[in-house]
Structure 1
Amino acid sequence: MSTPDVIVVMGVAGTGKTTIGPLVADALGVPYAEGDDFHPPANIAKMSAGRPLDDADRGPWLDAIGAWARERAGHGGVVSSSALKRAYRDRLRAAAPGLVFLHLTGERALIEERMAGRTGHFMPTALLDSQFATLEPLGPDEAGVLVEVSGSPQEIAGRAVAALRARDVAGD
């Protein structure tokens, strides 16, 4: 990519943000930050108990991610964040204009299967329905690309990097 953008890997739980994000960052030669690490302990406790976060819970988390992205502006970086609602993405863009979103998407059954197979994560599969209900896909005026999550992590990351580079070449 010609300009080192800050890329937000977004999508519902189980799409592979934590797996794909570092692969994309490595391919682009920029640092990666795990969005879950920005959650305050109260958010993790709430999700671990099977309760979805509300907008008030997400505010400080989004602000922390936005601050990281602002610090990386002009240097590049990749950070994961569900960024499910347009308002959340607007909040991130307000903190760090010029963000590019990499929306990982796929069939619900595949995502649920992947969630059920992972260990040591605080997000239970029971919250997947709330994630899909909250999701507002990228609008045509939002800088970003959509990448389907079938295949191996390397295949997905390869498609993501290709889509981001094509977007960069097109000047979007």
Structure 2
Amino acid sequence: MTIYVLDTQGRPVPLGAVGELCIGGAGVARGYLNRPELTSEKFPLDPFSKIQGSRMYKTGDLARYMEDGNLIFLGRNDHQVKIRGFRIELGEIEARLVEHSEVREAVVIALGDGVAKRLVAYVVAAPQEALAYNLRSHLEAVLPEYMIPTAFVRLDVLPLTPNGKLDR
């Protein structure tokens, strides 16, 4: 089995960059039964394999390889939004927020529509007067401006559904 982290064009991303987690190798299925369109989308040919006709599976998960070889899972790719023409991976912002020493958990959502759409970060952290300022400064050092949330909301715990999943 081979694990790839690829960009939207199917190219490997640099170390530390976020991409889609893809799996290749002998254990990968050939596709979905009687679903050729979904098979071609989720099980493309594996361009990195030496075996003719082998496929890889596009998981829909976001990940990044670290320099030490560890693979960091960032969440589902279906938490992608478009704001002011920029495609934004909410999981990338969340991952950067939890790198901050004050943050235990983080969720970022997009609120509003059209030109009024904005990012709001919800963080589980100890109460602190300058928390929003500190988090904004932290993110400005590691993310482009269009990925910086306009608001930061501190919570004691993140809301969960009755099934124990995050209630976005």
Do they fold alike, i.e. is TM over 0.5?
A: no
Structure with higher helix content: 1
Higher normalized contact order (CA 8 Å, seq sep 6+, divided by chain length): 1
TM-score by length of 2: 0.25
Quick check: which one's strand share is greater? Answer: 2
Structure with larger Rg: 2
